[in-house]
Amino acid sequence: MQVQDIENNKHFSNDVLLICTFAVMVKTIKGLFLTLGAFLVISCGSDDSGQEEASDLILYKIDYTTHTFEGGVTLSLRRIAGGFNTEIPLEVDKQAPDMTTDGSLAIFYQPTLDQVFQASLSLEGEAEIFFPILIEPGDFLRLETPVTFPAGVEIQSIDGDHSQAPTALIWEAVANLGLTEFVLNEDTQIGLFLYQPSEDPAFSSNWDWILMLYNL
C-alpha cells in the first residue's frame, strides 16, 4: 500500500506540474499577443498627436562595375513639414586623405543634421562603410515581377553630376526587391551618389553606387 501511495503521489505531482506549466505558457502567449497589439497600435495609429511622423530613406548599395546589389537599409528620419519637396535634403562633408591619414566621407540629412552615411576615403582606394550597417542581399524578399522605374521621375545627382550613370542597370539591381515595391509611390524622390574611396580610376573596382529612395 505504501508503494502504491507513493506512485499515486508521483502521478498527482506530475499532473499538477503539467497544469502549472500549461498555465504559465498561456499567460506568456497572452502577454506576447498583448505586446504585439500595442506595437501595432503605436505603429499604425495616425491620431496620436504626441508621436513624431517619420520620413523613410532607403539606401541601396550597388557595385560600380558589376551593378550587383550588395545590401541596403531603411533609415527613419524626422519628417519636416514643407520646404523640401523637390529633392532629398542632404549635405555631403568630405575630409580628403593625405599620405599619413585616411580621409572621411559623411552625408547628413539637412533638416536635423542626422548622419545617414559615413565611410572612409584613402589614397589606396580601400573602401569601408561605417554607417549604416547594411542588411545582406540574401535577407531581402524578392519579387517575381520587377518594379518598373516610375515614369517622369528624375534621379537627383548627389555630390556630383551622375546624369551619365547607367541608371537602367542600377535600377535593375533593386527592381525585384519587395522593399522597393513597398516604399515606391508617386511622391518618392530618388537620389544617386557615387562612393569613391579614391577618385583614382585604378581603384574603380572598390567604387559603389548608393541609390536612395526618399518618402516625405
Q: Which residues pair with 186 in a beta bridge?
A: none
Q: How far apart are CA 207 and CA 197, in angstroms?
A: 7
Q: Which residues pair with 57 in a beta bridge?
A: 75, 214
Predicted pLDDT at 186: 86
Predicted pLDDT at 36: 32
Predicted pLDDT at 86: 77
Note down pLDDT in tens along the chain; length 216 residues. Answer: 444 444 444 444 445 444 444 443 433 333 333 323 322 222 323 344 445 688 899 999 999 999 999 999 999 998 877 655 678 999 999 999 999 999 999 999 999 999 999 999 999 999 999 999 999 999 999 999 999 999 889 999 999 999 999 999 999 999 999 999 999 988 899 999 999 999 999 999 999 999 999 987
Predicted pLDDT at 48: 43
Q: How far apart are CA 155 and CA 11, in angstroms?
A: 72
Predicted pLDDT at 182: 95
The model carries a pTM of 0.76
Q: What is the largest CA-CA distance in the chain?
A: 94
Predicted pLDDT at 85: 62
- Asked if 64 and 207 count as a contact pair (C-beta separation under 8 A), the reply is yes
Sign of CA dihedral 100, 123, 60, 80: positive
* Residue 52, C-alpha cell as written in the block: 513624431
Residues 6+ apart with CB under 8 A from 40: none
Strands of 103-109's sheet in order across? 90-95, 103-109, 114-121, 129-131
Of 203, 191, 195, 196, the C-alpha closest to 163 is 191
Predicted pLDDT at 84: 53
- Asked if 206 and 186 count as a contact pair (C-beta separation under 8 A), the reply is no
Q: How many CB atoms lie within 10 A of CB 188?
A: 16
